[in-house]
Amino acid sequence: MIWKVIQNPTLGCNSFLIGDEISGQGVVVDPLAQVGVEAYILSAHDLGMQIIEVLETHVHADHVSCALDLTKELSVPYRISRHAPAVFAFTPLADDTRLHYGALAIDVWETPGHTKDSVSLILYDLARGLDPWAVLTGDSLFVGDVGRPDLVDAGETAVRLAALDQYHSIQRLMTLPDWTELWPAHYGSSPCGGIFMNRRPQSTIGYERRFNPFVHMSDPDIFVEETLRYLKPPPEEAESIRTANLTA
């Protein structure tokens, strides 16, 4: 497999280049404007990877994306959830869809909660086996934490419903095998998470199953209450960044 993680440590962001080394086909996931279109294209060139599509796990509210600019530069599809309220044209991702790029397969799971359009991407190396090897969880499951449910919908009822969605998304992610690598979109002190978010950018499903306090909350009501209890103040610029990411 082709695999490269490009990070912005200041914002606590992970972005990814993932591909099949035999066919050379691959994707970029959650590219960051602060890294820049050119850096992703040069990285793909260095890796011997042709960027077939650009995927996003959700419409981000903490950083400006360069996904749309990257797709325009390369004339490739921009893929985001079918629930994304973007005003520009995109190729929708739907639940339980499998994408193929040579031996790299990616299953799309809708994992709402942080946003309605949140998806997780389960990665398979079909040249080696049929089991998943990693999952990109966006802002659903973090290392030691879960994504906050209050950056889009205001009002206690809407936030509670979003937190309940997050509960079911986390339960679904826990059906993955222990060895599955966990790569969220954020780590450290990212404003998309809470006070328990770990500084490590990566974990495994098995480790989170054992030690993530939110995974241990089997009662959805307790999960919702605890999620709301530990919310940090929302970042001031969230709305303007989200608007920028929703428009061309």
| Contact set with Fe ion (CB under 5 A) | 60, 139, 192
Burial bucket for residue 47 (CB in 10 Å: 0-12, 13-18, 19+): middle
Nearer to Fe ion, 74 or 86 (CB): 86
3-class SS letters over 73-127: HHCCCEEEECCCCCCCCCEEECCCEEEEECCEEEEEEECCCCCCCCEEEEEEECC
Minimum CB distance to Fe ion, residue 62 (Å): 6
Nearer to Fe ion, 44 or 241 (CB): 241
Nearer to Fe ion, 101 or 187 (CB): 187
Measured between alpha carbons, how far is 181 from 20 in angstroms, rounded to an integer?
18
Measured between alpha carbons, how far is 209 from 211 in angstroms, rounded to an integer?
6
Minimum CB distance to Fe ion, residue 45 (Å): 29
Minimum CB distance to Fe ion, residue 11 (Å): 11
Minimum CB distance to Fe ion, residue 239 (Å): 13
Q: Which residues have a Cβ under 8 Å from the Cβ of 103 and sit 6 or more positions away? A: 1, 20, 22, 23, 125, 126, 127
Minimum CB distance to Fe ion, residue 46 (Å): 28
Nearer to Fe ion, 23 or 34 (CB): 34
Query: How, if at all, do strands 104-110 and 203-204 pair?
Result: unpaired
Nearer to Fe ion, 2 or 163 (CB): 163
